[in-house]
Structure 1
Amino acid sequence: MTCPADGLPPLCILLVEAPCLDHSPLQAMMEDAGHMVTAWPDAAGTCPQDEFDAAIVSLPAGRRETALAGLRALTRDKAVRLPLLAVAAADEGDIADCDGRIGAPPTPELIAEALAAAIFLRRDLPTVDEDHMAELRRSLAPETLRGLLEIARRSIDDTVTRLEALRGGGDAAAIARAAHHLAGVAANFGCRALARLAEAIERNALEGPVPWEELTALAAATTTALQGQIPSLVDAG
C-alpha cells in the first residue's frame, strides 16, 4: 500500500457529517490523500463497523457535541482509545469529548495536522508509566534514580528546544536525529506518550506533518511528571 500524499500512514477514518448526495469535499480531500473513509451521516442508526484509526465529526454545534458524546460512549470499552476530531472554527471554544480540532473550513493541510496529532499522541498512553517507574525504583538506589531523573528532565528540555530551533529550517536529518534521541530518553523512563510522539516525528521528518505544538505541551507535561517522582526518592534516600 502506498503512503498517502499527506505523509501519514494509510488510515481508516469514520466521518460523521450531514447527509450529502455523494462524497463531501471533506471526504474527497481525505480519500485524495490516500485514506479509507467510511461515511456515517449524522451518526444515525448502527455504526458501519467498529475498527477505525480516527473519527471526524463535521456537524453544527449541538449536533456535533451529541455525536461526539455518542462516539465516545460507543468506543469506551475499546482497548485503544479512538481519537475523535471535530471540525470547528477556532473561536468556538473547548469541545467536550474531543481529542483535536480541524479548523473550519477544512483544508488538506489542516486535516493532516489534526490527524497527525491525534494518531501520534495516543492519549491512552501514560505520560509516565507507573509500572516502568516502579521497576526502576526496585532496580536502582534512590539517589541514583534521582540523579538520572534530573538528567532526563534536562535532556528532554534541551532536545525539545533544539527541535524548535530546527523547525522550518529544512534540515530533516537533524530533526530526525534529535527526535530519535528524545524518543530514547523518554522510553528509558517510561514516558510512553512522549516516546511515541518523538518516534513519529523521526519517521515524518523527511516527509509528512509534524505536530510541533503538541510536542511542546507534551514535553512540558512529561518533565513535570518526572519532577513529581523526585520528592518520594528524596524521602527514600
Structure 2
Amino acid sequence: MIPDLVIFDCDGVIVDSEGPTCDAIAKNLTGFGFPLDRSGVHELFVGQTLHDIHRAGRERGLALPDNWVSDLYAEMFEVLGQGVPLSDGVIDLFDALEAQGTRIAIASNGAIDKMRVTLTPYGLFDRLKDRMYSGHVQEPKPNAGMLIAAMKQANASPKRTFMIDDSTAGAGAAVAAGTHFIGYSEHGGEEKLKPLGVDIAYSMADLRARLVI
C-alpha cells in the first residue's frame, strides 16, 4: 500500500534535538530546586509541551513564574541555534515519499518557532511550513487534532496515513485519529515504545523500507 500521507514528529525524529532540549530543561528546573539530568527530563516529560511541564512543575511546588515558558524557550533557542543534527537519510526519505505521491507533514508538540530554529538550516522549514502543525497552536498529542487537520489538508484517509513519533503521546494521537503508527527509536525512547506493542523503526532507511513501495 502506498500511503496517502506520512506525518512526522520533529524532535527526536526529523532532528536529533532531544538531548540539547532536555539539557536546557534540566538545567532550568534544577535552578528552581528540582534537580534533574537529561535522562530524568526524558523519563518524566518526553512528548509533553513546555506548558504541560510548567503545570507539572507548579503541581510539584516549584515557584515557576508565569513567563517561564517564554523564558525557557529563549534559553533553548540559544542552544539549538548552534545547530542540531538532522537524522541521517530523512531528506532522501521525504523525496522518495513525495516521488511516489505520498504527502508529508509535521505534527509536533513543540512550538513553530522552535521548528524554525532546528529545520531552517536544512531547508526543511520553508519546504514544510504550510503543512506543519504545533501543539502550541492546536491541542497537543495525544489528542488527535493535529493529525486530523493534516489528513484533511492532504485529503488523506486515516487507513492510508502513518504517524511517525518517538513518544507515547504520538502513539496515543495515532490511535485517537485512527491512523497507523510507527515508533521511531534512532535516538532513544525504545523503552517507552516497546511496552505499547507498536511497530518500531530504528533509522530512516528502516522507515523507507516500510513506506516506499
**Normalised TM-score (structure 1):** 0.30
Higher relative contact order (CA 8 A, sep 6+): 2
The structure whose Rg is larger is: 1
